[in-house]
Each structure stands twice: as structure tokens, then as C-alpha cells.
Chain A
Amino acid sequence: MKFGILIQDGPYNHEASDSAYNFIKAALERGHTIQGVFFYNDGVHNVNKLMDPPQDDRNISRRWSELGAKGIDIVVCIAAAKRRGINNDVLVPNVRISGLGQLLELSIESDRLITFGTG
């Protein structure tokens, strides 16, 4: 199956990024395709390369970049990113900025779309 992933909240403050990551790993292990990951709202903070957590903690932006390197399309919403000072200068590699039209496309092309956030 093709899964789309929407992430609405930032890293560390909440568990949403971790849950999404665990879900994606399990989906890939079950042989599914991740059609794309879309970051919206505070989710755009997930892919900031300036992130530098203590060594004994996970580096969340690096994790997303590694998934991007595997060929998963990782998209950051441009409107949400601009509002929060996220641009190409601070993005980790293997991630791109694009519009909300991509979320629509992801919704259409995925067999299932699942949202992670806090609310």
C-alpha cells in the first residue's frame, strides 16, 4: 500500500515526530511504500539542520534526512515554513520546500493518509 504521512507538530516538544518515525519504519518493514511525508504547522521545525541535541538524544532532523536519502519524498509546506523562518538555508539534505498542493497530491495518491501531531 501507499501511505502518506502528515506531521503537524515540531520535534522534541511532543512525541508526534517519534510516533510518525516509528510508524514509517514499521510500514516499510511490512513492505509498504511511503508516498511522501508532508510537514505542516509547527511540523516544519522537524527538518532544521541547526538542530544539535545532546549526544545521548536522537537527532530528529537527521532521521528525516536519512529517510529522504532512501528516496522518500519529504516536503515542507512553504507557507508554514516562511511564517516560522524555515528556508532552504536551514534545511537538512534530502528534503524540499513546496506548496500545500503537495498535501492535496499526497492525499490523492496515497491509499491511506495518517496524521501525527498534538493539537
Chain B
Amino acid sequence: MAEKEKTKIMFVMRKAAHGSIYAYEGLEAILIMGAFEQEISVVFIDDGVFVLKKEQDTKPLGVKEFSKTFKTLEDYDITNIYADRESLEQRGLTADDLIIPVKVMEAGEIAKIMEVQHVLLPF
């Protein structure tokens, strides 16, 4: 029997962490939805790339540090993780500054991946 086709869902992360809750609750949604064996991918664009910045220390601020939790995405077989090259560059970052490995791509390439999704969820 043919396996039921998985639904392609992409999380589009465009907001930085801590200043608002979107990135954190977005991550919570990724982790829950990632447990249901659909085809989940994540793309970091604009300030979203800051979410993955290494060396975040939130102790002085007194809020939860969740960037490390992105490392668990691998355990959910979420390996399609992308970042927009220009967004990184404009913010003085490279892939080496990020806490997990991402596929750095041009906007046009990312748009092609977006187009084949069933749902795009902004966070």
C-alpha cells in the first residue's frame, strides 16, 4: 500500500528572539508538529536569522534561552533548514555564527521551495 503523501509545511521565521514571543512559540509549534511525521521545513529570513545566533546568554534578562533547543530539530528528522544569504550578510553574520547548520540560499532558491509547500506559517 502506498504511503499517504506527507503534507509540506514550512515555518517562515522572520522575527528575532526575546523582543517578541513569535520565535519561541514558533519553535514550540515546530517541535509539536514535527512529531507527527509530516514534511516540516524551516527558513530563517530577515531578523529571523538572529534567532540562531550563537552565544545567547539570557540569564541577565531572566528569560528562557531557547536557541539551543533548535539542535533537537535533527531528532525530529527536520533537516530542511534554510537561511537567506542576504539576510545573514546584511546583519554581519555567516553560517559559522549560527548554533545549528543551515543551508544558506539565495532568495530566489528559497522562493522555489516555498512555492511547493502546502502551508507557510509565519513566526
Contacts and interface: CB of A to CB of B under 8 A. Distances in A.
Task: Name the prevailing secondary structure of the B interface residues.
Answer: mixed
B25 A80 contact: yes
B32 A40 contact: no
Interface string A43-57: 000000000000000
A71 interface: no
A79 B33 contact: no
Interface residues of A, number: 19
A104 B36 contact: yes
A80 to B, nearest CB: 6
A99 B31 CA distance: 12
Interface stretch (B7-15, B76-84, B90-98, B107-115): B7-15
Chain B interface residue number, banded = 10 to 19
A6 interface: yes
Interface in A8-47: 8, 40-41
Given A101-B36, A104-B32, A104-B38, A6 B22 contact: no
Contacts of A40: 25, 29
A100 B28 contact: yes
B7 A108 contact: yes
Contacts of B25: 40-41, 79-80
Interface of B: 7, 9, 14-15, 20-22, 25, 28-29, 32-33, 36, 38, 118-119, 121-122
Interface of A: 4, 6, 8, 40-41, 79-80, 99-101, 103-104, 107-108, 110, 113, 115, 117, 119
